[in-house]
Amino acid sequence: MKLRNKKWVSVAALAMMLVLSACGGSSSEEYEEGRIGDVMHSEFFDFTVNNVYICDTYEGYTPEADHKLLVSELTIKNTFNETIPMFDTDFQAQWNDKDDQDNAFSNPVETMVSEEQMEPEYDLAVDEERTGLLIFEVPADFDDFSVVYLEEFDTGETGNLYEVFFTAKEAGVSV
């Protein structure tokens, strides 16, 4: 299967995959979970969530009321046989909101806040590796999150779902 320009698959499709995996309808080939520092091996690239923390502001950027910023550092390495187009929205932050599961996710902020931030769109050459930040606005009353990636192919099919779980601490607080 060839890679197509990956845009985020609907949250409904993602939620359905999570429901299926929770009901035993998924094999290990459809869902992989990890923790901070684990290398996740997708069809196209390896990625690692290296570090995460929460803060009230980041380099002058302040989230909307009742939200905080989730700052996550990722390393992504192309393991595919050709250059792949990447988008910051290939990844989402998610949390378990039992009262509003349909909206318990966030795409990275659209504002370029820092030079360390992943570009909104870029090409990742064969064997190229990049490390950068993804910054998400998340509800202030949650501490447990995951960074999620869902493979999407040019056939319209989706592949594996990768989810890295963590409890985010305030910047400067030891884990």
Residue 13: helix, strand or coil by DSSP?
helix
Model confidence band, residue 137 (pLDDT cutoffs 50, 70, 90): very high
pLDDT attached to residue 154? 83
- R_g over Cα of the chain: 16
The verdict on residue 4 lying in a domain is: no
Domain that holds residue 36: 11-154
For the residues 57-75, what does the mean pLDDT come to? 96
**Residues pairing with 110 in the sheet:** none
The verdict on residue 125 lying in a domain is: yes
The CATH number of residue 119's host domain is 2.60.40.1240
Model confidence band, residue 172 (pLDDT cutoffs 50, 70, 90): low
The verdict on residue 30 lying in a domain is: yes
Torsion of CA 24, 168, 40, 73, to 10 degrees: 150
**More confidently predicted of 64 and 20:** 64
Residue with tokens 């570090």: 51
pLDDT single digits (tens) 94-130: 999 888 888 999 999 999 999 999 999 999 999 999 9
Number of compact structural domains in the chain:
1
The verdict on residue 22 lying in a domain is: yes
pLDDT attached to residue 54? 97
Residue 24: helix, strand or coil by DSSP?
coil
The verdict on residue 169 lying in a domain is: no
The verdict on residue 51 lying in a domain is: yes
On average, the pLDDT of the chain sits at 85
Percent of the chain beyond pLDDT 70? 81
**More confidently predicted of 30 and 117:** 117
CA angle 31, 141, 101 (to 5 degrees): 40
The verdict on residue 165 lying in a domain is: no
pLDDT at 149 over 70: yes
pLDDT at 15 over 70: no
**More confidently predicted of 72 and 101:** 72
The verdict on residue 27 lying in a domain is: yes
